Structure 1
């Protein structure tokens, strides 16, 4: 039988150096934006979204309802990154199909958005990278159907250098295949879909509910849960009917990238 390998325990100086290195890496990611929902923040490695990082969002399906939910999910994030007066969001896309009143209801009014339209995904991604490197924006949003590993590395590097968050919306281009199947260097990758709302005791439309899945994150595990859609300040909430119920346990996702 071979002898068991022996490992030297790190001394206090080595542990201190490791903590310092990890703290420096965390600072390099830029300010963190919490969701202010404990069930989400406590499961995120940074207790929120790193301001100097690339974050990806995709709809749970190609259905228009899921596409709208994913769009409003990232709208709420962008609105909260742009919370300080004078900050604007660059939104780059190739097809202008956004509904401005809907974005405003999620906390992002028209006067806080700068739109940039390109003919192809490559043009949109180039516009997004230029916006990141400018360094004066609250965040950059880009909608594409395809972005390879090289471009996600470039976007992550630009976001880190400028401490400007990058929100990449990967739209469906083929039925039955999740856009998050493609490899990426993103710090977090989210899949968003609609779920049935709670019936109201009187006629009317209740607050929409979404299925939120964190497919992958650096330094943490995936998870999924049900939330109420963004309010007028871009914030999510746990379902009002059961605010104290247990959150769905973290689980491996079949489409995890």
Structure 2
């Protein structure tokens, strides 16, 4: 079948899959990132509300911190109060504020283990009065993730599971399938050098590893004020620069 003729068929199949997989989900508008290069790649034009999403760091400790800030930026845009379940006392409130999430919007819950964190996470998603619920967890079994997804569907609350590995076995388990709608990986990249002494804006390699009814991608982004994502100047201006070089060569 020619590629052009196959496109309507593929689009219809994707719509059918979305209908079957989300038949019980409350109809909610998606939460856009505000960056067209990301939003146009997501099936609903943004991050689906009323769903469970996963995010993990690419490997190092700084990557884990970037993953938490990525989740904070999403929770900040969701509006309302945010439940944040932690097992380590290393969450830095000023960093959340820098990502756009004011500490006075956050309800912190300290859990002693994954089981307790997952239980608090599920209760937060079921509550229905929160803008978002976030939990820092290592293990996320399929059964638990299904319960979280169903709770999010019923309340319309967006859920973010920030995967934090304590052991190598946890990281290996993190590759196992779950009921989450999307799975993201965040890795820190060097910031652009400045013409004056100082530190440039943070840069991340943002990877959508899994997306239900969609396709994954990798994109380098720059983190601006209040956690807003943008393309680095070199990437954003690439088509213009290519056109300039083309004209110069004629």
Structure 2 SS opposite 1:32: coil
1:112-123 equivalent positions in 2, closer than 5 A: 112-123=105-116
Q: Map residues 93-132 of structure 1 onto 2, 5 A cutoff.
A: 93-132=86-125
The answer (yes or no) to whether the contact 2:73–2:100 under 8 Å persists in 1 is: yes
Q: Check if 1:43 corresponds to 2:36.
A: no
Residues 179-230 of structure 1 show CA distances to partners (whole Å, capped at 9, x for unaligned) of 630220100000001011111111111101000000000001110010002x
Correspondence 1:204-223 to 2 at 5 A: 204-223=198-217
Note if contact 2:139-2:174 (Cα within 8 Å) is conserved in structure 1: no
Question: Normalising by the residue count of structure 1, what TM-score does the alignment of the two structures yield?
Answer: 0.81
After TM superposition, the structure 1 = structure 2 runs for residues 1-257 of structure 1, keeping only pairs within 5 Å, are 25=23, 28=26, 30-61=28-59, 63-82=60-79, 87-175=80-168, 177=171, 180-229=174-223, 231-245=224-238
Count residues in correspondence: 225
Is the 1:58–1:179 Cα contact (8 Å) retained in structure 2?
A: no
- For residues 46 and 40 of structure 2, what CA distance do their matches in structure 1 show? 8
Partner in structure 1 of residue 242 of structure 2: none
Tell me, in whole angstroms, the C-alpha distance in 2 between the residues paired with 1:139 and 1:67.
Answer: 20
Aligned-partner Cα distance in 2 for 1:38–1:126: 35
Shift of 1:144: 0.5
Rate the CA distance shift 1:21–1:194 in 2: closer, same or farther, 3 A: closer
- Structure 2: how far apart are the matches of 1:234 and 1:27? 28
Cα distance change of structure 1 residues 162 and 27 upon mapping to structure 2, 3 Å threshold: closer
Structure (1/2) with the larger helix percentage: 2
Deviations 1:213-256 (A, max 9, x none): 00000001110010002x3333111112331337xxxxxxxxxx
The 1:151/1:240 distance shift into structure 2, 3 A limit, reads same
**Matches of 1:179 and 1:245 in 2, distance apart?**
39
For normalisation by structure 2, the TM-score amounts to: 0.83
SS in structure 1 of the partner of residue 186 of structure 2: strand
Distance of 1:158 and 1:210 partners within structure 2? 31
Q: RMSD of the TM alignment (CA)?
A: 2.4
Structure 2: where are the runs of 5+ without partners?
A: 1-12, 240-250
